[in-house]
Amino acid sequence: MQRTQVAIIGAGPAGLVLGALLHQAGIANQILELHSSDQLLSRVRAGLLEPGSAATLAGLGLDAALRRDGLQHTGLSLSFMGQRRRIDLQALTGQSLTVYGQSELSAELLQARAAAGSPTQFQVEQLTLEGWDSPRPLLRYRQHGQEKTLACDFIAGCDGFHGISRASLPSRAYRCYERGYPFGWLGMLADTPPPHEELVYAQHERGFALCSMRSRSRLRCYIQCHLSDKLAQWSDARFWDELHARLDPETAAALRPGPTLDKNILPLRSYVVEPLRFGRLFLAGDAAHLVPPTGAKGLNLAIADARDLAQALQAFFRGEGESALNEYTPRVLRRAWQAERFSWSLTRLLHRFPDQSSFDQQLQQAELAHLFESRAAQTALAEAYLGRLAG
């Protein structure tokens, strides 16, 4: 039987950052991951870091990587009614964003973890959690044909919406708050320069669109699509034509189709679990909450959860009792609901809903116009986008 202080389920951002923070504090931990390392690093995910997230990563020694490969964005643009208008985040808040790919972040954290000799168990199968409501939890699993057992003091469930951590709990132990959205995002990663140096969010009668990026030479873009759509319906040519149609003329003129590296359809969902502590088991990241990607909050919430849980566990192992552990749920939920509020409001503002009336459409236009007539409205958006109101 193996033994560690904290067993972390899932090697996504929440799990890897938590593991790094615990290692930095001298707390032994192991990460158990269902997939192989190659599968983990091949995922195309969000890569927009709020200042608080960048500070947490810098504290883990990733300053050089962020400075070398990260793109600093001091603003973002909204496209509507054929015009592109900029919101100056730096002028409104004094802060900026960092574009840094999640796969690159995961690779950096895994490399640092391996160099430090911290165990990461990949391709874990048949994982079960035992005694999570007792002082001595156990994790049993199968790996490479061998049955294994890991004893620990705490379990951190960082294994996402479909993971085993929440599924291991009786349904009566927690409450779910959930909202489904009547559309999805069709996303493409392409080997071509972005049409603008910053993110461009587009509101259009044909539906929402977003031009983001992974680097100065790699474009990540999305268009709103029907939930019933299949990838086979969307040839590359059709995608580029539709994206071009939804952008303002200036951005569209700079758009250059390029080789497709990845294409997928993402359903949009809001989801919050309450509470987030169950004896010695804690939920973090997507296992605890999901937000629509419109507000770029998912990765940042995962990092913030890891930071808060690491601090609470450090306090416990220093002999300070369980008060910080008890505060974990309310602290994370305050931040999660602020992110849900902002993500929902931005999604509602920029998307076309199936039951939307002409009156609703005019209200959207009026709200966008107000946003660019009011510095206070722009400041509120900038503060929420940068995570300054989330705690």
Q: Among 23, 204, 297, 351, which one carries the catalytic annotation? A: 297
Q: Among 13, 51, 73, 194, which one carries the catalytic annotation? A: 73
Dihedral sign for Cα 224, 225, 231, 232, please.
negative
- Pairwise CA distance, residues 56 & 21, whole Å: 9
- Pairwise CA distance, residues 27 & 19, whole Å: 9
Query: What pairs with residue 202 in β-bridges?
Result: 79, 209
Six token digits for residue 285: 């990241």
185 to 100, 177, 222, 269, 357: CA distances (angstroms): 21, 22, 6, 11, 22
Residue 177: active-site member: no
- Pairwise CA distance, residues 80 & 351, whole Å: 11
Q: Among 141, 181, 222, 385, which one carries the catalytic annotation? A: 385
Q: Among 201, 222, 271, 328, which one carries the catalytic annotation? A: 201
Contact yes or no for 56/307 (Cβ under 8 A): yes
Instruction: Please give the full DSSP string across 133-192, using - where no structure is assigned.
Output: TSSS-EEEEEETTEEEEEE-SEEEE-S-TTSHHHHTS-GGG-EEEEEEEEEEEEEEEESS
- Pairwise CA distance, residues 214 & 69, whole Å: 10
- Pairwise CA distance, residues 132 & 241, whole Å: 52
Residue 297: active-site member: yes
Q: Among 13, 293, 328, 351, which one carries the catalytic annotation? A: 293
Residue 162: active-site member: no
Question: Helix crossing, 358-373 with 323-350: angle to 10°?
Answer: 110
Give me the active site residues, please.
73, 201, 293, 297, 385
